[in-house]
Chains A and B, each alone.
Chain A
């Protein structure tokens, strides 16, 4: 797109925009939000909802030889067109005029609203979209207080099962076609479409097909009304009660930017958050729904110490003292540490300090791999393997895992520290192998087989309960933010590592997560000069990995071709 700027008058004020900017984007940048339903910057613009109609004008074409009279600022007069145009599909032109608040514009919006509401049911009390519904919002701004419609409303299918995760309510649908375009253009699984005509038009899945792809829940996010709702979140909680926390997804190395919606320390849903460098506006369903275990009964809520074969709940001070006393009795070479690539950079820094204090260099991370889906899911299912490499200075963090296993078998590894990992289920260790070690300390959010085989078990917070930074597959440094409090005595892993180091006699002078980040900027040249506020909600590129995210690459291409706004 050329950087040539054009002058546009919006509601009487002149602005400059790059040529090719959509009118709706120009208005948004000028602080004049134009209401819209079908327009979505990441999708093509069919212009079918007509909500974004604005009044447009151009300078009159002068007669040959005539000069247009210019005002003091050098702008020509504008001749307004008698009919409105849609702002979403038209681009700005030099000396164009746009009125977003004129009587004509407002009359158009009122008319569109009234027509949309004719057959719309009064479902708001039971509709999950209530509170974040564009139709509700715009009907407050542009609707009539009362309906003039006296006839029977058209009845359409309600509560339609169109896929394993998405529910359709056709009465609420306003035919914006965003979901159809998403499944077609982004998810490459075109199963949705309209049938019938006029006011009987319904959205439906193609016969014999289901909306079942791994990105189906994104249609729920982009649905401006409550026509598509999530089975998982359906009737769980009204959105206005939910606290929003901007954080990142930790289910794979992509690190999709997300918003965690929680109330009273319970997570109710997760939605993607726009970051055009990482996940655009989307996220996979598999990652989105992987949070119910956080509030499960299996959570560890207090430190456990094994005494005569059975676990006993005890305080942090006592459990850490037991752990420190046992660890101190081993030589550095007898101790191995298994870290998790789900730890934040800050926590890895503490783990590194622990290793240095204990005098061991037998440290490894547990790999997690899967198949990349060519959209957003990366093959590396660990969120921070790049961080492990960078912070611990290991080229291949997985390499020493075998050495630890053979050490356990050969008796050279007598004490094992497992940080936020379940090595039995996720790294192929056996309980018998762990039993050979003299002392096993493990931390994990959930009760698990590794914990069963440990001598001291510490409850470490899960991703939603801790703050820190992670490095994603493209080398981007992103912030993880604490959304809820961990249950019981749960501590963030960096806190429990700090306390363990302290119990071992190695004071470190670090008391807050912010100080840890400062320490990172001090210790690692890659972090030099960074602050947490610079990293912000969207992150910053930190290192070069040469990897890309396929969906983002395709989106850039579509944007370059002018199909979408981006």
Chain B
């Protein structure tokens, strides 16, 4: 179905466009002087001023792995985050937890867990898809490094950033 766009019939002086041009110039000039006089500036002076305190709870920054109350690594290397990750930033190599380990009944854990922070787009799908509540997006947004290799966060780094998180579902801790 065709949509008829109604175009206003312009007066002759409107057709000159000059009034509109001057009106536009006036608007920009007003903004110019308003900014000069120090009013209406909204830009934050980034390195000096930061948002950290005002970041909302749902802010999506760098993803990191967390451990539970008993320092068990929550990740069981199901690789769903690796699968869902749109830019393929996550690489996981799973391994079996040896029989003499305290958490041998969990059976599986990541041998390596790497997130390429150059690739990561902070979409949060990894957090959403995780069946073990093991990966969370933190509020860190300034992730820097001096080489590409440094920007690949390995398992230790991810646990260091993520730390411990309590109050989550703990299906592995039930008595057996």
Contacts and interface: CB of A to CB of B under 8 A. Distances in A.
Interface of A: 122, 124-126, 130, 155, 158-159, 234-238, 240-241
B148 interface: no
Nearest to B94: A235
Contact of B131 (A124, A155, A238): A124
B78 A238 contact: yes
B27 to A, nearest CB: 55
B12 to A, nearest CB: 68
Interface residues of B, number: 18
Interface string B80-119: 1011000000000011100000000111100000000000
Contacts of B50: none
A125 B95 contact: no
Contact of B76 (A126, A159, A240): A126
6 contacts: A125-B76, A125-B108, A126-B106, A235-B107, A238-B83, A241-B79
Given A155-B176, A236-B94, A126 B107 contact: yes
A471 B37 CA distance: 88
A126 B108 contact: yes
B78 to A, nearest CB: 4
A240 B129 CA distance: 15
A48 to B, nearest CB: 28
Contact of A125 (B82, B105, B132, B176): B132
A126 B78 contact: yes
Contact of B79 (A158, A234, A238): A238
Nearest to A240: B83
Contacts of A125: 76, 78, 80, 108, 131-132
A169 to B, nearest CB: 9
B83 A235 contact: no
A430 to B, nearest CB: 42
Contacts of B77: 126, 235
A241 B83 contact: yes
Contacts of B78: 124-126, 130, 238
Contacts of A236: 94
A226 to B, nearest CB: 11
The 4 A-B residue pairs with the shortest CB-CB distance in the complex, in nearest-first order: A125-B78, A126-B108, A238-B79, A235-B94
A300 B171 CA distance: 48
Contacts of A122: 171
B105 A158 contact: yes
Nearest to A158: B105
B166 to A, nearest CB: 20
B107 A159 contact: yes
Given A125-B76, A126-B78, A241-B79, A235 B105 contact: no
Interface of B: 76-80, 82-83, 94-96, 105-108, 131-132, 171, 176
Contacts of B105: 158
Given A125-B80, A158-B105, A159-B107, 18 more contacts: A124-B131, A125-B76, A125-B108, A126-B76, A126-B78, A126-B108, A155-B176, A158-B107, A234-B96, A235-B77, A235-B94, A235-B96, A235-B107, A235-B108, A236-B94, A237-B79, A241-B79, A241-B83
A471 B106 CA distance: 47
A237 B171 CA distance: 23
A319 to B, nearest CB: 34
The residue in B77, B78, B107, B132 that gathers the most chain A C-beta atoms within 10 A of its C-beta is B107
Contacts of A237: 79, 94
Classify the interface of chain A: helix, strand, loop or mixed.
loop
A87 B131 CA distance: 36
Nearest to B130: A125
A155 B79 CA distance: 26
Nearest to A169: B107
A125 B83 CA distance: 13
Contacts of B176: 155
A237 B95 CA distance: 9
Nearest to B99: A159
A130 B80 CA distance: 11
Contacts of B79: 237-238, 241
A234 to B, nearest CB: 6
Nearest to B75: A125
Nearest to B79: A238
B36 to A, nearest CB: 57
Contacts of B76: 125-126
B155 to A, nearest CB: 16
B84 to A, nearest CB: 11
A131 to B, nearest CB: 9
A196 B106 CA distance: 26
Nearest to B134: A125
A155 B108 CA distance: 19
Nearest to B171: A122
B131 to A, nearest CB: 5
Nearest to B105: A158
B154 to A, nearest CB: 19
Contacts of A234: 96
A245 B78 CA distance: 24
Contacts of B107: 126, 158-159, 235
B47 to A, nearest CB: 40
Contacts of A124: 78, 131
A117 to B, nearest CB: 15
A125 B95 CA distance: 13
Contacts of B131: 124-125
A260 B83 CA distance: 20
A124 B132 CA distance: 11
Contacts of A126: 76-78, 106-108
B98 to A, nearest CB: 12
The residue in A126, A130, A158, A237 that gathers the most chain B C-beta atoms within 10 A of its C-beta is A126
A183 B105 CA distance: 29
Nearest to A236: B94
A241 B85 CA distance: 13
B101 to A, nearest CB: 12
B143 to A, nearest CB: 26
Contacts of A159: 107
B89 to A, nearest CB: 15
Contacts of B132: 125
B86 to A, nearest CB: 15
A155 B176 CA distance: 8
B5 to A, nearest CB: 47
The residue in B77, B94, B132 that gathers the most chain A C-beta atoms within 10 A of its C-beta is B94
A504 B171 CA distance: 69
Nearest to B104: A159
Nearest to A123: B107
A236 B96 CA distance: 9
Nearest to B176: A155
B150 to A, nearest CB: 23
